[in-house]
Structure 1
Amino acid sequence: MTEWDEYKTIFHSLQEDILVTKTDGTIVKVSEGTGAVYDINADELMGRSVYDLEKEGLFTPLATPKVVESQERATFVQTLKGGKKLLVTALPVFNNDGELVRVVSYSHDVTELMEIKAGMEEMTVEMERVRDELTRLKQQNEGEFIAKSEQMRKVLATASQVAGVDVNVLLLGESGVGKTELAKMMHEKSERSSGPFIEVNCGAIPDSLFEAELFGYEGGSFTGATKGGRKGFAELASGGTLFLDEVGELSLANQVKVLKLIQKKEFYKVGGRKEIHSDFRLISATNKHLKESVEQKLFREDLYFRLNVVPLTIPPLRERKEDITPLLQSFLEHFTTRYKRKKVLDRDVLHELNKLEWKGNVRELMNLVERLVVTSQDTIILPSDLPESYQQIISSYSEMNNFEEPLAMTMEKVEKERLEQAKQKFHTTTKIAEALGISQPTVVRKLKKYRIK
């Protein structure tokens, strides 16, 4: 076999589309695979000009002019008649004098990949649309507060005003008033809304594990540590918001660590030697009176001032009665949609629930509505559907506010109820007398009067 025959055999054994042209675009060599790619006999391409073939619609754009102009390798997507896509790579070939004499190109069919890419792009656009819609709904359902009362309106106005500024905010208020929801709302309205919102419940993390949870740790730094180590909350919050809930529960030792983190935004992982910087916005919350804790030496004064740059106190629900009915309706709509049940609150239920103190605040109200939606039998939720504990409280309120009966009768009802409770708990008249602060003969006489056995 001659040297040329050997070269030709190797050349045509390649399944790829290989095409060689002169600098003027004349085709001088093609592999047999080229014909299959372009759906034409490979021999018919010999001597043809790629410029003419482009005019005939066989393929576009061309490799030859790209390489002639740049004198360098070029890679691009070429479209064939019928819409097929090729990923073409074209290489310059120079003679001994450094002159460009040939352009060699080869290609791969990427039609399916291009279709996948287009599909992925469409999917990305759709996912962006869905994400925007979810964000909008989230802002409607979670980020926006029910605020009919003047007290809550003022809190929200201040929160909105400082949301866009990286100032430390301390949220104060009883458990269940909505401190976490307000922190999330401020995050969503800030320039960091695209970053993470990292919530740390300081009261739920054991004191001995707090440093590792907040700063993370290197692998093998302590017994039970994950082999590859782990990022802490402070590092995860970079670019977003770090929310320290129940910050008043921190021990004095951990208060020092939090103070240093706030001051420098830098820390070391447990077992680590490399200082890590984290760019986060800090929001803290507590149901404790931190100023009193400072006076009692239970909370560091310097940390208190760091956290308390902008304090926001969320009033308890009993101090913003105007919000109870709108909250009830909002939660009812949410849970009837969630559980696919049609429910309506009876007017008497709304009236009675507005009387309560709601010691658990908004969280208690929300839990009650959810319970009523899933446990009530009929479409209309009646007072009789309320849990027994709530009915008893409402009943006692009604009796205490009943001005149509004489005071003596009201007092007797209260006295009878107290005696019944004491009898159930203490059993003997001697112990009942001690508990109520009256004599044993008086207990015997009153039990007989009210026929309590």
Structure 2
Amino acid sequence: MEKRQASNAVTERERLRKAAPAIHEAFNMGKTNRTALALAPREKILAEYDRLHQLCVNLETIIENSQDSLFVTNGDGIIVKVNRAYEKLSGDNRENLLGYSVGDLEGLNFSESCTTQVLEKRQQVTIEQTIFKTNRRTHVTTTPVFDGYGNITMAITNNRDLREIATLKERLADTEELANKYKRQIEALKSQGEGTFVAHDRKMLDVLLKADKIAKVDATVLILGETGSGKEQLVKYLHRASTRRGGRLIKINCGALPATLIESELFGYEKGSFTGASSAGKAGFFEAANNGILFLDEIGEMPMEMQVKLLRVLQEGEFFRIGGTRPIKTDVRIIAATNRDLQDMVRKGCFRSDLYYRLNVTSITLPPLRERIYDIIPLATRFLDEFNLKYGMRKTLSVSAYQALQSFDWPGNVRELRNVIEQALIMSEGETISHDELPFAPKGNFEFLPLEGTVDLDTIIARLEASYILKAYEKHGNVRAAAKSLGMKTTRYLRKKQEYSRAAGEGLKNG
């Protein structure tokens, strides 16, 4: 008997499943009316009931899981529905709200009722409301729902916490402020002409923002960075952005001059002060740079005896020419640069600690080119334009050449990249420079992404970015470590990874 009943139940469910599409189609086509429904087989009615029930369940799930607070009344202002988000916002359980009139709760639970105004004005209303129990200020919008006769059947209210809105506005403002800083910095650099920076990489943008702050104060600056990383270009920017931009910028390479000449070049000499001296004497760089900036490149190469004399100028603001007896006042800002570890030199007694601290009032460290990979392609493009103009050519770099440049380690930094582009432009045969015409051996393997037709720079950069994003994850195995290796925030890295992973799944080669 039990087996027969179970078998009948299975058969009934199967009949309902088969009947569901027919009744569903009838409803969708607008053909179902009360008569048709009354005449429909029992199983079709049950199937349609199940469908409608599931629809209600789905709608209930959506409403309950919405992050927006929802509050619904009927046409008389009686509360018929609230969701979990509203319970959290109001601090009340729905059992304390359902069935009550908004008029009864106005002034008790909240400051004023948006629903009451909608029922009176018969149109959407937006107000700011205070919820007393949680002391929350909310942005409230209530929308009326009308039946076919123009009667209000429901009023749907959406509440948003003003604190959350304010927080989002603050975050947006912070993001816009940072973006505007970067934009102003880049635009300022574009307008400067010779010596401008190409800064697309986050590390370099951070350097420029720091330089912008330092430029506006008249303190000594110590610039650290590998050979060829752009220290002299940074000094030019600091000069242009400083209050001394109307004065001269004079450079002396401390490593290029013999120790016997450095003193006379810096401080000058009086006539007849030594054999071979000019009969009229000569002003030194400190005098020439008065009211301007004196750039001491390769400061780590300065002899110890000269370090003492430089320290005196920094402390006293005056110096003596060689052979002179009269102190000369000077108003010079000192910017020093080196590729050496001055702290280590201080520990070893090769550099005076007191001079080091005098120079290191403010400091900027320039990252090597291998750590600012997003600058490689823009720099290469900039140098290509420069040398095309210089030599009267119109050559371009192939995609494979861009990829080879991106994969190289660049021990000589920006200076080496510039030299490579100039050599390649001169020595290449055709109008397009291929990867095998670059005068270096790329480090390791790099993928060639064959492309047909023309490809703009943005496409090239996006493809290379995708390669680094995905390979970083393969190497480190987790998002946090991969993001850190690329100098990115974890959330930004994850967003990029998901974007490029989807693209790879759809066929990255098609764009």
- TM-score range normalised by the length of the shorter chain: 0.5 to 0.7
CA offsets 1:331-389 (integer angstroms, 9 cap, x no match) = 111111122111100110000111111000000001111112222222111123222xx
Question: Which runs of structure 2 are paired with 1:22-421 in the superposition (5 Å)?
Answer: 139-387=191-439, 390=440, 393-394=441-442, 397-398=444-445
CA contact (8 A) 2:402 2:435 kept: no
Runs of 5+ unmatched residues, structure 1: 1-135, 402-453
Q: SS of the counterpart of 2:407?
A: coil
The alignment covers a number of residue pairs equal to 261
**Where does residue 404 of structure 1 map in the other structure?**
none
The 1:399–1:338 alpha-carbon spacing in structure 2 relative to 1, beyond 3 Å, is closer
In structure 2, what is the Cα distance between the partners aligned to 1:369 and 1:321? 16
CA offsets 1:95-148 (integer angstroms, 9 cap, x no match) = xxxxxxxxxxxxxxxxxxxxxxxxxxxxxxxxxxxxxxxxx9995443431111
CA contact (8 A) 1:171 1:313 kept: yes
CA offsets 1:215-251 (integer angstroms, 9 cap, x no match) = 0011111011112111101111001101010001111
Q: TM-score by structure 2 length?
A: 0.49
In structure 1, what is the Cα distance between the partners aligned to 2:410 and 2:206? 21
CA contact (8 A) 1:146 1:323 kept: yes
Q: SS of the counterpart of 1:285?
A: strand
CA contact (8 A) 1:139 1:185 kept: no
In structure 1, what is the Cα distance between the partners aligned to 2:277 and 2:209? 45
The 1:264–1:138 alpha-carbon spacing in structure 2 relative to 1, beyond 3 Å, is farther
In structure 1, what is the Cα distance between the partners aligned to 2:322 and 2:352? 23
- Judge which range, 374-383 or 361-370, deviates more: 374-383
CA contact (8 A) 2:403 2:446 kept: no
- Judge which range, 306-315 or 142-151, deviates more: 142-151
Q: 1:272 offset after TM fit, Å?
A: 1.0
In structure 2, what is the Cα distance between the partners aligned to 1:379 and 1:219? 59
CA contact (8 A) 2:404 2:446 kept: no
In structure 1, what is the Cα distance between the partners aligned to 2:243 and 2:320? 27
CA contact (8 A) 1:349 1:383 kept: yes
The 1:400–1:144 alpha-carbon spacing in structure 2 relative to 1, beyond 3 Å, is closer
CA offsets 1:197-224 (integer angstroms, 9 cap, x no match) = 0001011111111111100011111011
What is the letter of the counterpart of residue 156 of structure 1? L
In structure 2, what is the Cα distance between the partners aligned to 1:151 and 1:293? 27
In structure 1, what is the Cα distance between the partners aligned to 2:331 and 2:191? 24
Q: SS of the counterpart of 1:187?
A: helix
CA offsets 1:31-65 (integer angstroms, 9 cap, x no match) = xxxxxxxxxxxxxxxxxxxxxxxxxxxxxxxxxxx
CA contact (8 A) 2:224 2:339 kept: yes
In structure 1, what is the Cα distance between the partners aligned to 2:361 and 2:207? 15
In structure 2, what is the Cα distance between the partners aligned to 1:190 and 1:400? 45
In structure 2, what is the Cα distance between the partners aligned to 1:285 and 1:324? 23
Q: SS of the counterpart of 2:194?
A: helix
CA contact (8 A) 2:318 2:330 kept: yes
The 1:259–1:250 alpha-carbon spacing in structure 2 relative to 1, beyond 3 Å, is same
In structure 2, what is the Cα distance between the partners aligned to 1:278 and 1:382? 54
In structure 2, what is the Cα distance between the partners aligned to 1:283 and 1:359? 25
What is the letter of the counterpart of residue 179 of structure 1? K
Q: 1:399 offset after TM fit, Å?
A: 9.2
Q: SS of the counterpart of 1:142?
A: coil
In structure 1, what is the Cα distance between the partners aligned to 2:432 and 2:337? 38
The 1:138–1:212 alpha-carbon spacing in structure 2 relative to 1, beyond 3 Å, is farther
In structure 2, what is the Cα distance between the partners aligned to 1:154 and 1:138? 17
Q: 1:268 offset after TM fit, Å?
A: 0.7
Computed over aligned residues only, the root mean square deviation of the Cα atoms, in angstroms, reads: 1.9
CA contact (8 A) 2:189 2:197 kept: no
In structure 1, what is the Cα distance between the partners aligned to 2:376 and 2:422? 15
Q: 1:162 offset after TM fit, Å?
A: 1.3
CA offsets 1:240-274 (integer angstroms, 9 cap, x no match) = 10101000111111110111111122111001112
CA offsets 1:297-355 (integer angstroms, 9 cap, x no match) = 11100000000011100000011111100100011111111221111001100001111
In structure 2, what is the Cα distance between the partners aligned to 1:152 and 1:400? 26
Q: SS of the counterpart of 2:381?
A: helix
Runs of 5+ unmatched residues, structure 2: 1-187, 449-511
Q: SS of the counterpart of 1:311?
A: strand
